[in-house]
Each structure stands twice: as C-alpha cells, then as structure tokens.
C-alpha cells in the first residue's frame, strides 16, 4: 500500500473520537487539518510526538490548524492518553484500520526480526477544501510541530502573501 499523493482529495471518513462522539473529516471543511497517524497510545515515541504537539499547540492554532491524531487504540485508551499527558487535541479511534487503509499507512513493518502489520507514522496536511497539500512521511517525534509549521504548504503560502 502506498501513501496518498499531494493534490489528491483526502478521503472522508466517519469514526468516534476519544469521547465516543461521531467525527467526520468533512466536519473540518473550512479549516486546515493536520491528520497524524501514530502506532499506539502511551508508547515512548508516540508520547514524545503527542507532547511535542501539545507543547507547540498555541503556535499550531495560530496557523488555524485542527489537529487530529489517529491510531488503532480504543476510546478508553485515548482518554487515558489525553488525561495523562494533558493533550488539547482530538484523538480518533480506528480499531478496524479503516482510516489507516484509506490513507495507506497500514503497512508491513519489521522490528527485531519480526514482521507484522501496523501503522507507519505519517502526517497529512489537508487544506480547507479537503485536498492533501503535504505529506510528512518521515516524522521526527520530538520535532513534529516544527515539521508541520515548516511544511512547504505554509512556506509557499507565506511567499504568495507578499
């Protein structure tokens, strides 16, 4: 499976958030969405990534971004993760890998000589009309917000505003 290309329409989906409320990507039309996929709640690297986004949330909000995290964990796990680390953004439930498959992030992984299917840490930036404007395939968990804010989408937007 391959990642979705820049310029393509982001597939819409319906799922539950950490509070059990229904959530659609199309609910966010009119906003720029950072849709980030991560393997599991409360694992070291995923925690670093989420805390980096939390610590830089004001700067991300200043750009008008809506942050949505997606993993295969359930609502209860997401709630604990949010409470433990005081995360200010929404986490989406994808226990059956539907969203992961739509976005091409459910792939074969290798770890310690073992092969298994799992989420490849990836972030999509989706514009207000619902199109993918950037894909961060090599996420650096401790610098993730910097990667997002340094995206070619924001750099090019700044250039065209002059």
pLDDT tens column, 34-78 = 999 999 999 999 999 999 999 999 999 999 999 999 999 999 999
Cβ-proximal residues to 83 (8 Å cutoff; 6+ apart), any chain? none
The pLDDT value given to residue 162: 35
Q: Which of 14-23, 37-46, 82-91, 149-158 has the lowest mean pLDDT?
A: 149-158
> Is 100 one of the annotated active-site residues of the chain?
no
**CA-to-CA distance for 22 and 34, rounded, in angstroms?**
18
Residues 6+ apart with CB under 8 A from 36: 49, 53, 67, 68, 69, 70, 122, 123, 124, 139, 144
- Of 23, 46, 51, 100, the active-site residue reads 46
């Amino acid at each position: 499976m391959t990642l979705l290309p820049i310029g393509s329409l982001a597939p819409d989906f319906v799922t539950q958030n950490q509070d059990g409320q229904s959530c659609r990507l199309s609910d966010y039309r009119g906003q720029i969405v950072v849709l980030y996929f991560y393997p599991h709640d409360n694992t070291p690297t995923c925690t670093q990534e989420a805390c980096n986004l939390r610590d830089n949330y004001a700067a991300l909000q200043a750009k008008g971004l809506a942050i949505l995290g997606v993993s295969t964990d359930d609502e209860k796990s997401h709630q604990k993760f949010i409470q433990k680390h005081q995360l200010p953004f929404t986490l989406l439930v994808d226990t059956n890998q539907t969203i992961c498959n739509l976005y091409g992030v459910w792939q074969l992984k290798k770890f310690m000589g073992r092969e298994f299917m799992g989420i490849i840490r990836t972030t999509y930036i989706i514009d207000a009309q619902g199109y993918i404007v950037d894909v961060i395939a090599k996420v650096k968990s401790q610098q993730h917000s910097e990667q997002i804010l340094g995206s070619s989408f924001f750099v090019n937007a700044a250039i065209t505003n002059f």
